[in-house]
Structure 1
Amino acid sequence: MADPTALRPPALARLDEMNRRALDGGGTARIAKQHEAGKLSARERIDLLLDPGSFVEIDRFVVHRCADFGMDEQKVLGDGVVTGWGLVDGRKVVVFAQDFTVIDGSLSGAYASKICKVMDLAMKVGAPVVGLNDSGGARIQEGVESLAGYADIFLRNTLASGVVPQISAILGPCAGGAVYSPAITDLILMTERTSYMFVNGPDVIRTVTSEDVTKEDLGGAATHAARSGVCHLTAPDDRAALAQVRELLSFLPSNNTEAPPRHAAVDPVDREVPELDTMVHAEGPYDVRQLVRAVVDDGRFLEIHARFAQNIVVGLARIGGAPIGVIANQPQVLAGCLDIKASIKAARFVRFCDCFNVPLVTLVDVPGFLPGLDQEYGGIIAHGAKLLYAFAEATVPKITVITRKAYGGAYDVMASKHIRADYNLAFPTAEIALMGAEGAVNIVYGREIQQAADPAAARARFVEDYKTKFVNPYKAAELGFIDEVIYPCMLRIRLAQALDLLRDKRDKNPPKKHGNIPL
């Protein structure tokens, strides 16, 4: 029987051959090596990210322009990055996937141009950008052209910021100048043990500072998730990371002109949560994540930055099928105090949600800002102001619930009525005051206590009197700073009602080029 390919017109046969070469990337041996390292190929990753059969590739036949150092003999179709668009849950997404099998995924001028083209396309059509990073860095043979390529990408990351969601999955190496593109994007995911990010690698650090460190300890997923805060989510492998990207996109609009996508809700919005009536009490910590899961749809809470600054919890969830961003003090860690890292973490998340029209639900249990020389010398004044600025600037629906402590300046900062929160609730256990009763009594009644026949009894009496008068939600409610003191079991119902009311909220900031947030 005749070979059917022999009957194809030459033009089609040539296209067949070019497609085959482009799809092979760096070849079967390099792809096998990628698999041995616990990583998928660029095309396998795209197939997992996008809905089946939806990927449309562009610039498949682009090659680099370098003729020096024998590079004219190392031209591979596609040049080490796969670019195009497709669908995630039926919605348009633009994607680029760096291909480590082709010259270690190193970035050339042509490679950068491919990425810039799809990013420009994303801005034109209002679609999210997902970058799958696995690259050895700049292509040294191209010198400044490679550096220019990085800067071209950085510019587009900056211009797209707040316009379309940008998500970076670090699925292999990402070092040197290459780290700054993911750093500008909205969310960074890293795979455990197969990815790393750093500006200067272990060899450079050893040479300059004589410090010994491994790649994993310097820039692995665990380091950036828990210590630096660069990484928002980690995953055990490529498959899990790409599933996380799909879930993240499900909470976000395609661009800043759209509302987040609503899902059909099975969990009734009029469901009471009786366990909340006893979860929060006057003394002792509780896990605020349990409170969040009890209230949101189906108990599903996608926590962001879970291992960094654990004294504050942030993440995405739904109520009545509508996405919300949750910010919550965590009493189990540092008693829920705000510190430098918590302020930075929460401020970043608040601004992210505000960019993409995700309503904010803030759960407050904060005794104040963390005392300490390291905090003062580290700039807690400026860093705490970032969170204050972020909440005040945000124009999305803002709902605040004070569950227990809301003391001093931290009360103001945590989405109080005074910085444009729309609906402020309190549990009966709420303590809204300048400070705790014990500290206040020492200042207000110090002389009376010293002169009393029984100082301990006098102090206890003054403490109880202060708590009755001031350390409760009712003075704030009397002044209109709290809209309603609710039974905790009613929280889900009230949140659903408020979100429905505020769905068409209109608010805006004064005309300006941009504000000067205390960076």
Structure 2
Amino acid sequence: MTREISPEWKALLSELERRREIALASGGPERIAREHKYDRSTARERIAKISDPGTFLEIGTFVTTPTEDGSLLASTFVCGLTEIDGRPVAIGAEDYSVEGGGTGVHLARYKGGWGGFIEEFAIGYKVPLVMLINGVGGSVILQDQIGYPELQSANPTYPMFDLLEQVPVLAAVLGPTAGSSAARAHISHFSVMTSDNGCLFAGGPPVVKQALGLDIDKFALGGVAVHTRASGLIDNHADNEDAALAQIKQVLAYLPDNVSTRPAVQHEWRANDQEDLLTIVSPTLRRAYDVHALVRCLVDQDTFFEIAPDYGRSLRTGFARIEGHTIGILASDARFVAGSLDVQSSLKQAKFVELCDRFHIPIAYLVDVPGFLVGPKAEEAGVLKFGAMALRAIQQAKVPVITVQVRRSYGLGGVATGSRNPMSIRLVWPSAAWGDMPLEGGVEAAFRAQLDAAPPERRAELKAQLTQRFEEQTSIWRAVENFGAEEMIDPRDTRKYLARLIKLAYRKTLET
């Protein structure tokens, strides 16, 4: 039976649909076509790509953006509640086709992007927040609508930083991004940027031209090569926006909904052949090995997701699973600066350890570190200052840190690879070597006067004698005999130990 709708309701619903059409039209056909020409999508198209079909519940649909002729234009920011792989997620997306996706300074309340509704929604319901970023930050046109200049120090940032302590925050930079939008990308636990369109900067090429008289391409100024390799502002890069959104989904799958829960356990997994470990890693200290192959062998098949692969490459970080349980992986990579901790890798370690600690993810550290990077450039860069940050992060972590001593561990760099909390443990391979410093350099430093005083033809012989003497005193077998490390293991048993300890950690009552 069809019921007749009253004229009053028809008029109201007609106006509702008219305004919905305006909202769904984004910046209009021409601007949408321009975005599609560059293989970029609108905000709603991006949300549809990452969301489970039919789950996006938009909030703030009918917010408008001012125009010169007074006509209605869609919002610069689209947000709401969605589901990703069956999990509720708060999501916000800047729409570059509408005034460059500028922050809604003209509104009584921001919808999101620099504090505002969707961020408050995420922290209120304790659900993850996904930000799809492609905006100009501030906009002169939108600022003009206020009628007076805002004092920027008066603008609140709540709850952007509070969110980082409560729920996972993931960001994808999918096109040109400047100002506050660019900074917002880094205020996250994980960020990814596209190689084809992604670029971000405090001020774009026109601002640089005005300020410095320098003509520069937007990708040379702030593309993926700049921010994933040099600045470290962005963690990962992806070829295009589909690949970037796929990475967001991958990382989210390793994380819990909030700090009061643990990551979900996968009940189907496959192990690799642990015999391969003996061919991947050579006991010869000077022979480099493929640390990615080592990690992939130890963890469940096809589960290692590396974070920040192009930044601080002497240390590899990422998520994986062992018997279906999420684990954070840190692994020295001797192929770069011999595995030393430098400024970049120290910052990378500090950030990743804090992320794991925040969301109750146990850590496995595969160690082969000669210490902190040495030399005048390292000292000028403040390697010890930033190295102390890496050391502090892991020493203060409340989650278990399972240190697997694969080969070397010297000096303060070695201190930064383990934790003394009661749940942490050190597993030692027979290929390990450790001490205050490598013997060769230590003998040279301690006995330089004696070595220099020896006849040239006897110098090498004397150094060999001194080295042999100290080798007998620094045998790792002596250290193990005196319980200087908890357990010496066959490398092929590493996964077995990790699995038992990780599952034990997952049984522990959460303390938040």
The alignment partner of 2:159 has SS state of helix
The alignment partner of 2:301 has SS state of helix
Contact 1:206 1:212 in 2 (8 A): yes
Alpha-carbon deviation of 1:491? 1.1
Which whole-Å CA distance do the structure 2 matches of 1:112 and 1:404 have between them? Answer: 55
Deviations along 1:107-136, one digit per CA (max 9) or x if unpaired, are: 222296212112111111110111111112
From 445, 460, 473, the counterpart of 1:456: 460
Give the aligned partner of residue 42 of structure 2: 41
From 335, 338, 343, the counterpart of 2:341: 338
RMSD after superposition:
2.7
Contact 2:136 2:181 in 1 (8 A): no
Matched, 1:219 2:230: no
Contact 1:400 1:425 in 2 (8 A): yes
Which whole-Å CA distance do the structure 1 matches of 2:5 and 2:225 have between them? Answer: 51
Alpha-carbon deviation of 1:485? 0.9
Q: 1:26 to 1:151 in 2, by over 3 A?
A: farther
Deviations along 1:463-489, one digit per CA (max 9) or x if unpaired, are: 23433431x433432343411111111
Which whole-Å CA distance do the structure 1 matches of 2:292 and 2:100 have between them? Answer: 41
Matched, 1:73 2:70: yes
Contact 2:320 2:329 in 1 (8 A): yes
Q: 1:101 to 1:149 in 2, by over 3 A?
A: farther
Give the aligned partner of residue 512 of structure 1: none
Which whole-Å CA distance do the structure 2 matches of 1:136 and 1:336 have between them? Answer: 39
Give the aligned partner of residue 233 of structure 1: 236
Alpha-carbon deviation of 1:359? 1.2
Q: 1:207 to 1:215 in 2, by over 3 A?
A: same
Give the aligned partner of residue 516 of structure 1: none
Query: 459-468 vs 313-322, which deviates more?
Result: 459-468
Contact 2:91 2:130 in 1 (8 A): yes
Deviations along 1:244-272, one digit per CA (max 9) or x if unpaired, are: 1111100000111110111123214xx65
From 258, 261, 272, the counterpart of 1:258: 261
Give the aligned partner of residue 467 of structure 1: 471
Give the aligned partner of residue 477 of structure 1: 480
Contact 1:119 1:156 in 2 (8 A): yes
Give the aligned partner of residue 102 of structure 1: 98
The alignment partner of 1:52 has SS state of coil
Which whole-Å CA distance do the structure 2 matches of 1:439 and 1:162 have between them? Answer: 43
- Structure 2 unpaired stretches of 5+: none
Q: 1:476 to 1:209 in 2, by over 3 A?
A: farther
Q: 1:467 to 1:72 in 2, by over 3 A?
A: farther
Give me the TM-score of the superposition, normalised by structure 2.
Answer: 0.90
Deviations along 1:227-255, one digit per CA (max 9) or x if unpaired, are: 11111111111111111111110000011
Contact 2:273 2:297 in 1 (8 A): no
Matched, 1:488 2:491: yes
Alignment of 1:314-463 (within 5 A): 314-417=317-420, 422-444=424-446, 454-463=458-467
Give the aligned partner of residue 54 of structure 2: 53
Contact 2:232 2:311 in 1 (8 A): yes
Deviations along 1:55-96, one digit per CA (max 9) or x if unpaired, are: 1001101124x6xxx64614324x121110111111110001
Q: 1:243 to 1:439 in 2, by over 3 A?
A: same
Give me the TM-score of the superposition, normalised by structure 1.
Answer: 0.89
Contact 2:395 2:419 in 1 (8 A): no
Alpha-carbon deviation of 1:314? 0.6
Alpha-carbon deviation of 1:454? 4.3
Alpha-carbon deviation of 1:216? 0.3
Letter matched to residue 129 of structure 2: V
Which whole-Å CA distance do the structure 2 matches of 1:245 and 1:416 have between them? Answer: 30
Contact 1:163 1:256 in 2 (8 A): yes
Which whole-Å CA distance do the structure 2 matches of 1:443 and 1:5 have between them? Answer: 92
Which whole-Å CA distance do the structure 1 matches of 2:339 and 2:140 have between them? Answer: 48
Contact 2:401 2:419 in 1 (8 A): no
Alpha-carbon deviation of 1:378? 1.9
The alignment partner of 1:73 has SS state of coil
